[in-house]
Amino acid sequence: MENLKIVLIQTDIFWENIAANLAILEEKIWNISNDFDLIILPEMFNTGFSMNPKTFSEPSNGHTTKWMKMIAVQTKSAICGSIAIKENGFYYNRFLFVTPNGNIQTYDKIHTFCFAGEDKVYNSGSKKVIIDYKNWKINPQICYDLRFPENARNQIIDDKYAFDLIIYCANWPESRVLAWNHLLEARAIENSCFVIGINRIGEDGRKQKYNGNSAFSFALPEHNKNFGEIEKVIQFELCTSLLSDYRKKFPFLKDIK
C-alpha cells in the first residue's frame, strides 16, 4: 500500500445545471499541475442537493457517469462523488467511484435527510460498501450518514482492518458546520483511520447556504486540517506509515466486544 495523493474540489454548484457543473469541474481538474491518485467531489456535484430526481436523475451509465469515466481515463486517476441515479423505477443518491480502467463501484446513501424531504423522493441504500483501490480499503459515505457512527464502524478481522479511509461527500449547511467539524474528527478517532470530508460552498436553489470546511482528520488530532470557506482545489497526501505506526502502537479496535 503506497501513499495516496488526494485532490478535493471545494466548489460552488450551479443549481440543477448539469452541463455547467461538469464544465467548471473539468476546467478545475485540468488546471491541476501535480500528479494525483484520487479526485473527490461533493454530494450531488452535478446538480446541487436537488429534490427533483424525476427531472435531473440519470440512468446508471448516463451522461455524468460517462464524464467521470472520461476524466478517470484522461487523468489516470480515480474520481468519486455522488449524483442522483434512476434505476428500475427508483431514485438513489448514489456515490460513484470510477477508476482509470473503467471499473465503477457504488454506494447508495443509507440515511436520507428527512429534514429536506430526501426520504420522500429518494430510496435509501441497504448495505455498507468497502472499495478497494490501490490496496487502500475505502468506506464511502454521503453527508447525513456522518451522524450515524454505526454505518462507519471499523473492525479487525484476522489481524486486518476492514478499511483505512472514510470519505464523506456532502452538501452540509453552514448553520450546522460545528457538528460537521467535530463528527469528522470523532469518526477518525473511533475507527483508527483517515477521514476525508468534502463539502460545497455557496447557496443552492433552496436558499440553503454552505461554507465548505472540507477537512482531513486522523486518529491523532495534531495531523488534522480544515481547508476553510473559500472555493479552492486542495491537494494533500495520505501517508501509509502514519496509519500503520499508529495502529501498531494503539490497537484499540482489537478490544471491540
User: Is the alpha carbon torsion for 204, 206, 212, 218 positive or negative?
Assistant: negative
How far, rounded to the nearest angstrom, does the alpha carbon of residue 143 sit from its chain's CA centroid? Answer: 8
Cβ contacts of residue 41 below 8 Å, gap of 6+?
9, 25, 79, 80, 81, 169, 198
Distance CA 192, CA 53 (A): 36
Distance CA 149, CA 69 (A): 31
Identify whether the C-beta of residue 137 lies closer than 8 Å to the C-beta of residue 161: yes
What is the set of active-site residues? 43, 109, 143
Secondary structure of residue 140 in the 3-state scheme: strand
Which residues in 114-191 belong to E strands, given as ranges?
Answer: 131-133, 136-142, 156-157, 160-161, 165-170
Contacts 24+ apart (CB under 8 A), 157-162: 161/137, 161/192, 161/193, 161/247, 161/253, 162/130, 162/137
Q: How many CB atoms lie within 10 A of CB 26?
A: 14
